Amino acid sequence: MCRKTFLQVMSSLGADALMKPIKTALVGFGVSGQNFHAPLLSFVDGIELTAVVSSKPELVKSVLPDCATYTSFEDVLEEPQIELVVLTVPNTLHYEHTKAALLAGKHVVVEKPFTTTSAEAEELIALSELKGLKLSVYHNRRFDCDFLTLRELVETGQLGKVHSYLCNYNRYRPHIKGRWREQDAPGAGILYDLGAHGIDQALSLFGAPKSVQAKLRIQRKDAAAVDHFHLVLGYDACDVILHGNCLSTEQGPRFQVTGDKATYITYGMDPQEDMLKAGGGPASPAWGVEAEDDWGTLYNEAGEGRCIPSQQGGYERFYTGMRDAIRSDTAVPVSPRDAMLTIRIIEAAYLSDKAARTIFL
């Protein structure tokens, strides 16, 4: 939503609402909190990044000198002015931290994956509804350049009836870094990490699948968590293939989606994360703009291809949606029920791999 539209909406709510930004606490100031959330929260009108919880308060002050710093999560929950809590903590803490924030009367955004089990997710959704609070999960790749372009091609019928969908998350990272994501722990491994993005994107296009078939592997030397996944989500007229590993020297196509009228193929990753890591953000002129060399190609019935300009990405749109959900009581940008279904599919994938069979949902 553009600034003018936001001000018009807020004006209809009255002067008090117009003047009252959503005071927000960011919990965690690692790579995700510092690079991927703080710049967006600092940019969006109507959201005020007020506090940060981190074990490194000096680092926070060097980056965000106007923010209050806390080393205790419980202490920030006791601050009555904080309305929204954004959680960028290890996956194993998502459930307990989200529950604590909801019980403290705060709206919550939690990094993906939502939780490590679907039962935990279901409990949190019920609690948020009971308390009348907004709860969402940060599936930011709904706002990637290539995915926004793909969505438009699907929704406008330019591909025709889609029957084959491939999404790759291939990387070459042969060495184990010892981070919590690579440990033998609940919610670790690239299926919970990268695979969750691919599942969420598929759900946002096609809804819930009828079945899940999966092969999961631990391929790298000394690896303790899944570092290779191959999922097939079954729909009535379409198979969705989600693939990813850490030993690919060539990424392959990012998306290869085929319908009965055309095929769309695109390579490379959305530029926004690299821009954020480099210190850029939504205020920069090139924000969310994909290089022309990375545009996808649309192939017609005759096999003739033409480049399709990528739409401009915008991770900040997640937080404008969250702002509007809190202030205008609109839907959150990512439904927690979609995020819970992502966890159910991950659980089904592990069961499918272990039992060597298709799991029907």
Ordered by start, the domain boundaries in the chain are 3-140+317-330, 144-313+344-360
| pTM for this prediction | 0.92
The predicted pLDDT at position 19 comes to: 59
**Which two tokens mark 28?**
């965690």
The predicted pLDDT at position 178 comes to: 73
Residues 115-145: pLDDT tens digits? 999 999 999 999 999 999 999 999 999 999 9
Residues 9-30: pLDDT tens digits? 444 444 455 459 999 999 999 9
Give the CATH class of 144-313+344-360.
alpha beta
Domain 3-140+317-330: CATH superfamily, name plus number: NAD(P)-binding Rossmann-like Domain (3.40.50.720)
Residues 63-96: pLDDT tens digits? 999 999 999 999 999 999 999 999 999 999 999 9
CA atoms within 13 Å, Cβ hemisphere of 136: 21
Residues 295-322: pLDDT tens digits? 999 999 999 999 999 999 999 999 999 9
Residues 220-267: pLDDT tens digits? 998 999 999 999 999 999 999 999 999 999 999 999 999 999 999 999
The predicted pLDDT at position 17 comes to: 52
